[in-house]
C-alpha cells in the first residue's frame, strides 16, 4: 500500500541519479496544463464545480493504468507541514499549498507521475525523471494524458489548442524543465554568459533553490518559455538539445576547475563533507551550499562516498517542511538546525 | 511577500546577473515597475512577467480611459478584469476576447496557431477544421494568382467538407 508515510521513507525515483547525465542534470520534469470541457477555470468556478472536477479526476485516475494505486491527498485536510513537504518534493506548487476547495494532489508510485487538481487549471499532470530525459518524460505523461482525456474531455480549440487559465500556457500546455547543477560554470564565472545565450534561444532560466535571495548552490531550472506554435515533441527536443549543450559546457568548466585549482577544490569538497558529517547545528542555507559542493566532489570522483543519489536526497529531506513534519510540531530555528544536522549525519553514516 | 516594500504579495520573480553571480528577487508588480526591472530583465523573466509586460504595453497604447471591454458570455469575466489579474475565466473567454487576445498571445508565443497534439475524442473534427483552414488559404492564393480552374476545384472541395462538418455538428458536442 502506497501511503504518505511510505512515500517519505523511500526516496522519489527522480532522486536516484540513474538517468542520463545525472552528474549535471538532477531531474527532468514535464507538466501538462489541462481543463475540463464545460466547467469554468478554477479562478471563476464555484466550490461545487471544483469539488465536481476533483471527483471526476479521482475517478479518471482510478480507471487509468498508471495511477490506479495512487495516493490522494486532500489539501482541505492537509496540515501546513504536509503541504510544505509536497512543495519540497516538487509535487505541488507554492500557490497550491493553501486550502482552497476541491484541491487534491494525486501521486503515483515512486512519485514519477502526479497530478495537481484545481490549481490554476483544473489539472496539472506531471512526470519527473532522473537526469536528462525530456522526450521520454513527455511520452510517459502523454500516455496518462490520453487516458485521463477519455474520462474528462478537455477544453480544446482547433485554433488555440488546449485552453488554459493563463494564456502563457495555451496550446500544448506543456512545460518541459530540467534542474541543472552548474557549479563548474558558476565557479568559472561563465554562468551569466551561458544563461544569456539560453534565454536568447527562447528558453527561460531561473535560480532554483534559495527563497528569493541568491541562487543557492548553483542550481538552475531551464524550461521552454512558449507553449503555442510548436509540437510537444519539438519542445521536448529543444530543451533536450539545449540542455545537452549546457552539460557539455559545464563538464568543460569542471575539467578546467580540476586542472587549475584542483587542490583548492578538493580541499573545499572535503571540508564540506567534514562539516556535514560532523556538525551539530546546520542552517538551511549552509546545508544547501555544502551539499552542492559535496555533490560537485562526488560527480568529479573526489570523494568516494556518498553517491550522487544520497546527496540528491539530502537536498530534499533537509528542507524545513520535511523537518517540521518529522518533528510533529513547529520547531524553533535552532531546534530545526539541530534536527537538520542530526539527519545529515545519519544519512551520511548510512552511506559508509 | 515583496522583498522591496514588504507589504504587497510578490507576483514577479526576476533574476539579475552581476559578475557571474545570479540573484533572484521576488517583487510585487508596483515595486517591479518602479524599479523598471520588469522591462530591462525581460530575457530572464518568467512567463508571468512577459504577459504583464504585454498587458502594460497595451494599456499604455490605449490610454487610461478604457471602457470595460468585451465580456465573456460564459463566465461573465470582462477583458479589463483579465488585464488586471492575467487569468481567463473559462474556455469561452478565448472566443469572446479573440480579437484582443490574438496580439497578446502573439507577443507571448510568437505564434497564434496550435500545432501540437489533439485530444483523441476530437481528433477527427479537429482534422477537418485544419483541412478547412488549409483549403481556404489555398483558395485565396489561387484567386490572387488568377488560377480560376484550381479555385473552382478548391471551392467544390470546401463545399463538400462544409456539408460533412454540418452533418457531424449535431453529434460532436461533448462526446
Chain segment B32-62, per-residue pLDDT in tens: 666 554 333 333 444 455 455 555 555 555 5
Please name the member of A167, A192, A213 whose beta carbon is closest to the beta carbon of B105: A167
* Omega before A197 within 30 of 0, i.e. cis: no
DSSP character string of B108-123? HHS-SS--S---GGGH
Tell me the residues of chain B between 32 and 91 that have a Cβ less than 8 Å away from chain A: 43-48, 50-51, 74-77, 85-91
Chain segment A117-160, per-residue pLDDT in tens: 999 999 999 999 999 999 999 999 999 999 999 889 999 998 99
pLDDT at A53: 97
Q: Which residues in A lie closer than 8 A to residue B109 (C-beta atoms)? A: 170-171, 226-229
Q: Does A1 touch chain B (CB under 8 A)?
A: no
Instruction: Count CB neighbours of B143 within 10 A.
Output: 14
pLDDT at B46: 47
Query: What are the grid coordinates assigned to B138, written together?
Result: 489555398
Chain segment B89-111, per-residue pLDDT in tens: 999 999 999 999 999 999 999 99
Q: Which residues in A lie closer than 8 A to residue B119 (C-beta atoms)? A: 149, 153-154, 156, 162
Query: Roughly what angle, to the nearest 10 degrees, separates helices A191-200 and A232-278?
Result: 160
Question: From first to last of its 352 residues, what are the pLDDT tens digits of chain A?
Answer: 788 999 999 889 999 999 999 999 999 999 999 999 999 999 999 999 999 999 999 999 988 888 888 999 999 899 999 999 999 999 999 888 776 789 999 999 999 999 999 999 999 999 999 999 999 999 999 999 999 998 899 999 989 999 999 999 999 999 999 999 999 999 998 988 998 899 888 898 888 765 443 467 899 999 999 999 999 999 999 999 999 999 999 999 999 999 999 999 999 999 999 999 999 999 999 999 999 999 999 999 999 889 999 999 999 999 999 999 999 999 999 999 999 999 999 999 998 7
Spell out a b/e string for A59-96, using b for 16 or more CB atoms within 10 Å of the CB, else e: ebbeebebbeebbbbebeebeebbbbbbbbbbbbeeeb
The pTM score is 0.79
Q: Which residues in B lie closer than 8 A to residue A231 (C-beta atoms)? A: 115-117
Please name the member of A153, A167, A210 whose beta carbon is closest to the beta carbon of B104: A167
DSSP character string of A191-233? HHHHHHHHHHTTEEEEE-SSSSSB-GGGEEEEEES--SSS-HH
Please name the member of A165, A172, A232 whose beta carbon is closest to the beta carbon of B88: A165
What is the predicted ipTM?
0.89
pLDDT at A213: 38
Please name the member of B43, B108, B118 whose beta carbon is closest to the beta carbon of A167: B108
pLDDT at A219: 93
Best of A53, A168, A225 to disrupt the B interface (most B CBs within 10 Å) is A168
Give the C-alpha separation, A33 to A233, whole Å. Answer: 16
Q: Which long-range contacts (CB under 8 A, 24 or more apart) does A313-316 make?
A: A313/A11, A313/A15, A313/A347, A314/A276, A314/A287, A314/A344, A314/A347, A315/A26, A315/A209, A315/A288, A315/A291, A316/A11, A316/A12, A316/A15, A316/A88, A316/A89
Number of H helices, E strands in chain A: 11, 10
3-class secondary-structure state, position B42: helix
pLDDT at B27: 73
Amino acid at each position: 500500500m502506497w501511503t504518505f508515510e511510505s512515500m517519505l521513507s523511500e526516496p522519489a525515483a527522480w532522486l536516484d541519479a540513474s538517468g542520463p547525465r545525472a552528474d549535471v542534470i538532477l531531474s527532468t520534469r514535464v507538466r501538462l496544463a489541462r481543463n475540463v470541457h464545460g466547467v469554468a477555470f478554477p479562478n471563476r468556478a464555484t466550490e461545487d464545480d471544483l469539488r465536481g472536477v476533483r471527483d471526476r479526476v479521482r475517478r479518471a485516475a482510478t480507471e487509468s493504468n498508471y495511477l490506479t494505486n495512487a495516493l490522494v491527498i486532500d489539501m482541505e485536510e492537509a496540515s501546513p507541514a504536509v503541504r510544505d513537504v509536497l512543495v519540497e518534493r516538487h509535487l505541488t506548487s507554492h500557490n497550491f499549498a493553501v486550502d482552497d476547495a476541491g484541491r487534491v494532489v494525486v501521486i503515483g508510485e515512486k512519485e514519477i507521475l502526479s497530478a495537481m487538481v484545481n490549481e490554476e487549471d483544473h489539472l496539472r499532470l506531471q512526470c519527473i525523471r532522473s537526469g536528462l530525459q525530456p522526450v521520454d518524460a513527455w511520452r510517459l505523461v502523454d500516455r496518462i494524458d490520453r487516458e485521463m482525456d477519455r474520462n474528462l474531455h478537455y477544453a480544446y480549440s482547433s485554433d488555440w489548442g488546449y485552453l488554459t487559465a493563463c494564456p502563457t500556457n495555451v496550446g500544448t500546455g506543456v512545460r518541459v524543465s530540467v534542474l541543472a547543477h552548474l557549479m563548474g560554470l558558476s565557479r568559472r564565472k561563465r554562468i551569466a554568459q551561458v544563461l544569456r545565450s539560453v534565454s536568447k534561444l527562447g528558453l527561460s532560466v531561473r535560480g532554483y533553490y534559495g527563497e528569493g535571495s541568491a541562487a543557492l548552490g548553483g542550481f538552475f531550472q531551464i524550461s521552454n518559455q512558449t507553449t503555442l506554435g510548436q509540437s510537444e515533441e519539438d519542445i521536448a527536443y529543444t530543451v533536450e538539445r539545449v540542455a545537452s549543450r549546457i552539460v557539455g559546457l559545464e563538464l568543460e568548466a569542471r575539467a578546467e576547475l580540476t586542472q587549475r585549482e584542483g587542490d583548492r577544490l578538493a580541499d573545499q569538497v572535503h571540508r564540506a563533507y567534514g562539516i556535514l558529517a560532523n556538525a551539530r547545528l546546520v542552517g538551511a542555507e549552509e546545508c544547501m551550499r555544502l551539499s552542492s559542493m559535496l555533490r560537485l566532489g562526488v560527480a568529479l570522483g573526489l570523494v568516494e562516498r556518498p553517491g550522487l543519489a544520497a546527496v540528491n536526497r539530502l537536498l530534499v529531506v533537509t528542507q524545513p517542511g520535511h523537518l517540521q513534519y518529522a518533528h510533529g510540531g513547529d520547531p524553533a530555528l535552532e531546534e530545526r538546525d539541530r534536527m537538520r544536522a542530526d539527519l545529515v549525519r545519519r544519512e551520511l553514516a548510512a552511506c559508509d | 511577500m515583496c522583498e522591496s516594500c514588504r507589504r504587497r504579495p510578490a507576483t514577479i520573480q526576476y533574476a539579475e546577473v552581476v559578475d557571474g553571480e545570479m540573484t533572484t528577487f521576488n517583487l510585487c508588480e508596483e515595486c517591479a515597475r518602479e524599479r523598471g526591472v520588469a522591462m530591462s530583465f525581460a530575457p530572464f523573466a518568467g512567463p508571468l512577467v512577459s504577459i504583464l509586460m504585454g498587458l502594460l504595453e497595451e494599456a499604455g497604447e490605449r490610454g487610461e480611459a478604457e471602457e470595460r471591454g468585451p465580456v465573456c458570455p460564459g463566465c461573465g469575466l470582462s477583458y479589463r478584469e483579465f488585464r488586471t489579474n492575467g487569468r481567463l475565466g473559462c474556455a469561452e473567454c478565448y472566443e469572446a476576447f479573440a480579437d484582443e487576445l490574438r496580439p497578446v498571445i502573439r507577443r507571448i508565443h510568437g505564434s497564434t496557431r496550435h500545432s501540437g497534439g489533439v485530444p483523441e475524442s476530437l481528433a477527427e473534427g479537429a482534422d477537418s477544421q485544419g483541412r478547412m483552414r488549409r483549403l481556404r488559404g489555398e483558395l485565396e492564393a489561387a484567386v490572387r494568382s488568377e488560377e480560376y480552374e484550381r479555385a473552382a476545384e478548391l471551392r467544390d472541395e470546401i463545399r463538400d467538407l462544409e456539408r460533412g462538418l454540418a452533418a457531424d455538428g449535431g453529434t460532436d458536442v461533448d462526446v
